[in-house]
Amino acid sequence: MLKVDQQTYRDLEFNVLTEMMSEFCVGDSARQRIISLKPVRKTEELIKFLHQTNELTDIRREGETFPRIEFDELDQEIKMLPVKNASLPQKSFDRIRFASNLVNSLIYFFNKREDEFPELFSMLKNVYFTKEIIEEIDNIFDKHGEVKDDASEELFQIRQRIKDVERKANSNFDRTIRKYLKKGYLSDTKEAFMENRRLLAVLSSYKRQVPGQVTGSSKTGNVTYVEPAETVPLNNELDQLKDDERKEIFKVLQILTQKMVIHLPLIKEYQKILVNFDFINAKSRLALKFDAVLPGLTNDMSFDLIDAYHPVLKLNNQNAGKKTIPQRITMNQHARMLVISGPNAGGKSITLKTIGLLQLMLQCGLLVPVHPNSKMTLFSSLLTDIGDNQSIVDELSTYSYRLKRMKYFLEVANERSMLLLDEFGTGSDPDLGGALAEVFFEELYKKGSYGVITTHYGNIKLKADELDAAVNGCMLFDTETLKPLFKFSTGQPGSSFTFEVAQINGISKKLINRAKHKLDDKKVKMDQLLHELQKEKSYLSRLTKEHIEAQETAEEARLRSEESLATYNAKLKQMRARAEETSKYVSLGKKLQQFIDAYITKSKKKNVNADLLNEVKKYIAKEKAKIESLKKEEVLKKRSKKKKDQPTKKAKQYHQDKIKKGSTVKMIATKQKGEVEEVEGNDITVVFGFARMKVKRESLIWVKD
């Protein structure tokens, strides 16, 4: 299990993701699981959870018609069903019916797809397709969720009597209202309703002339509401019948509840399955939002994040219409301590946070926004020191807090720990703090820990260069525009570009030059050297990019030219074939015409056309022999083509058959070396430095595996 303390959750702002996912949840149970999301304890469980989320995400991406995960939880029903003589309310049966129908839909969807979606299919192993629950509920309730008249014989009889009494009461009331309307006793509204009883709206001056039960009056007192004597006994009888109806409905639901008790184990599984799907669906929707994937998982304590994004930064930039620069970060046992330097506001901290947040997401069972070819590993602890974390209450300064944090790291860090240290060593005197930071760096290195450290200290950069399993990296800076590129590069430390950043922020050159004169000449030269190295590297990277782009353009033009030529040759061949065929038929037609002209129809001489018929037979035999000869030539051509399609001496010489994923290869045209990233038949994807390019196998030379 990945050990993470509360400070790490705060440093990496993990709550932003959990709050986002909680809004995707349907029920409270899944929502609580999301809000309290923590790293998964067991590796087997983590892999299972990752594959569940990945499978559902694939279903969504492929546009499959998947059942809508929307339901009411069954906690109350599960609690009430075992209670003796209990009766579930009407809405409970609607929830149970909906859950049964939804689980049936899930079973139907995954039927015969166990090989395609094994983890999601396994979630349904304790349930089965059944219509029994649905049919039992449908026998009692109609499509509007009301108890049917024929739910029981007694209920049917009661409702028939209710209809009869209501009909009589309405008839008597209508007759009474017409009578008093003629006499002018009623107000303009004529009638009113109170507790489901029809009342006469009598002008108060005539209320004594209308026999019945007074139930109230209007606010002004001008109208008195009277239940006429003709309907009082019928309404009383109706109340009794309504009470009988309620009691009978209770009995019907009580019997139905007992039938549901038989299905209690299945209903419990419904609740469990639907909550799990709700939970997975929330994670899947987050993955779709960030275009996240499941990277490859390695056991060798190495990772390669390709086109990695900080999800929250990417979302914010999308909303603001900005482009987010993806990063590639690689770490392994030979490069396990990464020191990132470069200008302020250049992206050092966000790169560090990206690594930490993606690792935390993965070990919490979430997909991560990286290229599908990325690889990640599992750590046992994730430790962070990001931000100043001053505390007025505890009377802690930034430096005091960092010392306490570092003491904790030195106690718990091991070879399966990942440390994320932002602005390492700051908060105290630069020289003294830098010296202490270097000692901490050495101790963490001795423990075999993995770490990503951002710093401006030159001694930390030099220490990373000295240690075998440490490596420098920097955030690139455009030396021409004096603006950060937010692009990470491994291999060399970066200049802080302190004076350049000050210049673009409006500080005068006079003040900047005064500041330079106050520094040690060696430090200024060192920073200038880093500046020049980065400038040269940027220039070379640009040249490489332009060269590769030009190469790609030339390759595309060559392919287009070959395609056009092939199309032209095919059309030309087709036209020639048609011309030859037409010429052949014309020749045959002329010959036939000659035979027709030579044929004698009127002659007394016997066998006058014998010579002509012999000539016709010879001609036919000759033409047939030509056709047979052409067929033999076609067979020989096909055999010859097969031989040509076999690997040539040149292909064998370049060992192109050995090319596979991970091979080092060289372009025949440019002699440029690269590493094979993907092989798709004759199409090879090769990484040349910072660029990725798809080329044909025959344009490469195999170098080594």
* pLDDT single digits (tens) 441-450: 999 999 999 9
CA distance 348 to 331: 16
Q: Selecting from 1.10.1420.10, 3.40.120.10, 3.40.50.150, 1.10.357.10, what CATH number does the domain 152-249 have?
A: 1.10.1420.10
CATH number of 649-705: 2.30.30.30
Per-chain mean pLDDT for the chain: 85
Q: Are strands 337-341 and 470-478 parallel, antiparallel or unpaired?
A: parallel
pLDDT class of 271 with cuts at 50, 70, 90: very high
Residue 441's CB is within 10 A of a number of other CB atoms, namely 25
593: helix, strand or coil: helix
Element (H, E) at 663: none
pLDDT class of 394 with cuts at 50, 70, 90: very low
Domain boundaries, the chain: 9-150+255-290, 152-249, 296-518, 649-705
More confident residue, 156 or 507: 156
pTM of the model as a whole: 0.69
| Domain boundaries 296-518, CATH class | alpha beta
Give residue 448's pLDDT: 94
Give residue 560's pLDDT: 83
Q: Which residues pair with 684 in a beta bridge?
A: 679, 695
Residue 56's CB is within 10 A of a number of other CB atoms, namely 23
CA distance 216 to 199: 10
In degrees to the nearest 10, what's the CA dihedral of 57, 59, 60, 62?
120
More confident residue, 600 or 575: 575
Greatest alpha-carbon pair distance for the chain in Å reads 141
Q: How far is CA 117 from CA 57, 64, 121, 213, 274, in A?
A: 11, 13, 6, 71, 17
Q: Are the C-beta atoms of residues 330 and 301 closer than 8 Å to each other?
A: no
Give residue 395's pLDDT: 40
Q: How far is CA 596 from CA 168, 280, 600, 601, 619, in A?
A: 108, 85, 9, 10, 14
Q: Are the C-beta atoms of residues 183 and 205 closer than 8 Å to each other?
A: no
What would the pLDDT profile of 159-206 be if each residue is shown by its tens digit? 999 999 999 999 999 999 899 889 888 888 888 888 888 998 889 988
What would the pLDDT profile of 532-559 be if each residue is shown by its tens digit? 666 666 666 667 767 777 777 877 788 8
Place of tokens 């490596």: 471
Asked if pLDDT for residue 382 goes beyond 90, the answer is: yes
User: 9-150+255-290 adopts what CATH topology?
Assistant: MutS, DNA mismatch repair protein; Chain A, domain 3 (1.10.1420)
More confident residue, 146 or 457: 146
DSSP 252-303: HHHHHHHHHHHTHHHHHHHHHHHHHHHHHHHHHHHHHHHT-B--EE-SSS-E
User: In what side-by-side order are the strands of the sheet with 303-308?
Assistant: 296-297, 375-376, 303-308, 327-331
Residues near 343 by Cβ (< 8 Å), separated by ≥ 6? 475, 477, 484, 494, 495, 496, 497, 498, 500, 501
CA distance 419 to 412: 11
Amino acid (1-letter code) at residue 441: F
Residue 502's CB is within 10 A of a number of other CB atoms, namely 15
Asked if pLDDT for residue 35 goes beyond 80, the answer is: yes
The full 3-state SS of 622-644, as one line of letters, equals: HHHHHHHHHHHHHHHHHHHHHHH
Work out the burial of residue 370: count CB atoms within 10 Å of its CB; fewer than 13 is exposed, 13-18 middle, 19 or more buried: buried
Q: Are strands 691-696 and 700-704 parallel, antiparallel or unpaired?
A: unpaired
Q: How far is CA 533 from CA 379, 537, 538, 689, in A?
A: 35, 6, 8, 17
Q: Are the C-beta atoms of residues 240 and 150 closer than 8 Å to each other?
A: no
One fold for both 9-150+255-290 and 152-249?
yes
pLDDT class of 483 with cuts at 50, 70, 90: low
CA angle 687, 691, 696 (to 5 degrees): 55
More confident residue, 514 or 181: 181
What would the pLDDT profile of 276-326 be if each residue is shown by its tens digit? 999 999 999 999 999 999 999 999 899 999 999 999 999 898 889 888 889
Give CA 429 to chain center in angstroms. 47
CA distance 505 to 499: 10
More confident residue, 363 or 197: 363
